[in-house]
Chains A and B, each alone.
Chain A
Amino acid sequence: MQNHEPLLKVKNLRQHFVTSGHYTVKAVDGVDFVIYPGETYGLVGESGSGKSTIGRSLIRLYKPTGGQIEFNGMDISGKMDRVTTGRLRVEMQMIFQDPMACLNPRKKVGEIIAQGLDIHHLYTSKSERKEKVSEMLRKVGLAPEHSDRYPHQFSGGQRQRVGIARALIMNPKLVIADECISALDVSIQAQVVNLMQSLQAETGTTYLFIAHDLSMVKYISNRIGVMHMGHLVETGTTEEIFSYPVHPYTKSLLSAIPRPNPKSERLRVAQSYDYKEQGVDYSKGLQHHLGGSHLVLATDEELVKWV
């Protein structure tokens, strides 16, 4: 998988928000990573770490402050011409967190799913459009009859399936799933994750999976990036991150995951991490390569201390 040319190359991406004349929020401050075709890249971190901002910058809901984003051979970081915008809007899709809020309540589900097809003229006849929608509904585990219903007639899990159908009907190369299971119940989460995985096996889509639930991220991702304070502090394969974490923030995150095992859980104490106390300054750190695809953000002295 790694031998391919990356599908998405992000270099020194910065996304700042000017909140007032003298204060700028540096939500994302110099992030590099690549995503290879067909893999699932998990992005984890606490709230406010900038993981959702990255997703939104990639799909150009924001205009990036600086850095390069190369997607499928196109530069999508600066001003885009019409052709590029059109291609980006087809080839990159997003699944949102809240299935209640992301579907237009006044449109029927069939219309919601077909909206992308309508805009980009991706069918030649009415019957083809209908066929495509029905097929997609079947793929996500709903019935074609459901296309005449409104979003409020569905349960949370079903609504998230509609969100997935809407994204995948465009045959995208990259799907950004922003906390797409956090709003669902435990028993429904597993259903949606299984669905996403089987659709990936079928279509070969690439996922950028943004979440704060590390156990789910571990389960679904091939590679993981750990975000903190707008910096990507550590990235590597799932194996590398979970078995050999280096950065103290990653370690504290891993130690904090509650595990369904009362035997060990009762005694476990989570490690704490305070970057101010430890004097870690992310802007001074450099990405150090630790073998494989394992990278960690650290200064030379810090690296010696942590390894």
Chain B
Amino acid sequence: MENLHRSKVMEIRNLSITFRTSVGQVHAIRGVDLDMHQGETVAIVGESGSGKSVTMKAAMGILANNGQVDSGTIQYTYHRDNGEIKTVDILQMKKKELRRHINGKRIAMIFQDPMTSLDPTMTIGKQIIEGMLWHKRATRQEAWGKAIRLLEEVGIADPDKRMKNYPHHLSGGMRQRVVIAIALACDPDLLICDEPTTALDVTIQAKILELIQRIQKERNICVVYITHDLGVVAKIADYVNVMYAGRIIEKGTVDEIFFDPRHPYTWGLLSAMPDMDMSNERLYAIPGSPPNLLHSFEGDAFAPRNPFALNIDKRLEPPMFKVSDTHYAATWLLDPRAPKVEMPEVLKNRIRIMLEGGSYHAES
């Protein structure tokens, strides 16, 4: 995982996005910084409405029409067809250019619901080769052959026959495999997965996750994984970004986030998940509900739900405090002047058990 020569694929800086709605301006994203490197899996975790999908949609240039970028840059670095390295700002690009050079070709996305992301009137073979014909100028025969190899790669039996099937012939898990095959058709170097397993059963979810993991390793591409499920994050991520109310409030390597979380919201998220090893104590629940981003607020967005909130949280939004070179958290508790606050006892115990008895899971 440690890679000295990490080559950066995408760099998002100070991104802010507002949506105009009939009830007013919604500040969906409020200053997001995010880095993606080749060969790494970055997870973005958060509740619905925290802005995780919007961030990545902006990165792909497919923001909804009522969305407006207030500030920020999205620098995307890629190899042109002639091998030259080029860096562009996605936000400055014209829609036509994006469609031609970036979308589907270099950045591909897998959506949540495989039922709605496939065209019901086209055979899956046609849908897979569509991108190759357009972006790569491949001949039909080449594309067809590659499509069959892709279907094999994503684990579909009898790919020759399946090419002529329509989406409704396939089960949910198979459909999601086809969607993954379509995304991989043009050999993208950035793959964005927006909750690709939420609509699927646990057993199928595990298979799809293993598939994405394998593809990421084999092709050495960057995968961004958007999810609200910390179990999924633990399985696939190298780096984790926790989002709350349009900001990244904690980022770090997966071990840092799970074994040494610093932000009270991350504590809450981790303890709110029922653990298979713990006996039936009461589940910790984060009180209240996420803020409505229609209204502006002073101070930390999480303060009203935070049992550890300090006075300053109500007045001033905390900056990112550095914990280690890779680990940052936006909470005043990390300020040297703040009182010493430890994470809840329950969570401490759980982390201790995880660190000691990790082997229990491996055998089961």
Contacts and interface: CB of A to CB of B under 8 A. Distances in A.
A265 B206 contact: no
A262 B233 CA distance: 8
A259 B233 CA distance: 9
Secondary structure of the A contact surface, majority rule? helix
A185 B47 contact: yes
Residue of B254, B273, B360 with most partner-chain A CB within 10 A: B273
Contacts of A216: 274
Contact of A264 (B209, B230, B280, B360): B360
Given A46-B201, A258-B202, A262-B234, 11 more contacts: A186-B229, A194-B283, A212-B202, A215-B274, A242-B276, A256-B202, A256-B203, A259-B231, A260-B233, A260-B275, A264-B361
Using C-beta atoms within 8 Å of the partner chain, give the interface range for chain B: 35 or more
11 contacts: A185-B47, A187-B47, A187-B290, A197-B282, A257-B202, A262-B237, A262-B259, A263-B358, A264-B358, A265-B235, A272-B207
A158 interface: yes
Contact of B201 (A188, A193, A212): A212
A157 B234 contact: no
A267 B269 CA distance: 23
A166 B231 CA distance: 33
Interface stretch (A27-35, A75-83, A247-255): A247-255
Contacts of A219: 274, 280, 283
B47 A186 contact: yes
B362 interface: yes
A193 B283 CA distance: 8
Contact of A258 (B47, B235, B285): B235
Nearest to B255: A262
A280 to B, nearest CB: 15
Given A257-B276, A269-B210, A270-B210, A186 B269 contact: yes
Given A157-B289, A194-B285, A215-B274, A266 B201 contact: no
B258 interface: yes
A268 B272 contact: no
Interface residues of A, number: 44
Interface in B245-290: 254-255, 258-259, 268-270, 272-276, 280, 282-287, 289-290
Residue of A212, A219, A265, A267 with most partner-chain B CB within 10 A: A265
A190 B210 CA distance: 28
Interface string A256-290: 11111111111111101100000000000000000
A132 interface: no
Contacts of A257: 202, 231, 276
B284 A190 contact: yes
A252 B203 contact: yes
Residue of B47, B270, B274, B362 with most partner-chain A CB within 10 A: B274
B254 A262 contact: yes
Interface in B179-211: 201-207, 209-210
Residue of A193, A218, A263 with most partner-chain B CB within 10 A: A263
Ranked nearest first, the 7 interchain pairs of A and B with the lowest CB-CB distance are A258-B231, A270-B206, A264-B361, A219-B274, A190-B285, A263-B358, A46-B201
B48 interface: yes
A242 B275 CA distance: 12
Residue of B202, B204, B209, B237 with most partner-chain A CB within 10 A: B202
B102 interface: no
Contacts of A268: 235, 361-362
Contacts of B254: 262
A224 to B, nearest CB: 13
A85 interface: no
A261 B207 contact: no
Residue of B204, B210, B234, B268 with most partner-chain A CB within 10 A: B234
A203 interface: no
A218 B202 contact: no
B91 interface: no
Contacts of B204: 46
B228 interface: yes
B9 interface: no
Given A186-B228, A194-B285, A264-B362, A215 B205 contact: no
Interface in A222-246: 242
A12 interface: no
B364 interface: yes
B354 interface: yes
A47 B232 CA distance: 19
A185 B228 contact: yes
A189 interface: yes
A259 B201 contact: no
Nearest to B198: A182
A186 B272 contact: yes
Contacts of A272: 203, 207
B66 interface: no
A214 interface: yes
Contacts of B364: 254-255
B355 interface: yes
B269 A266 contact: no
B231 A265 contact: yes
Given A46-B201, A185-B228, A254-B364, A260 B285 contact: no
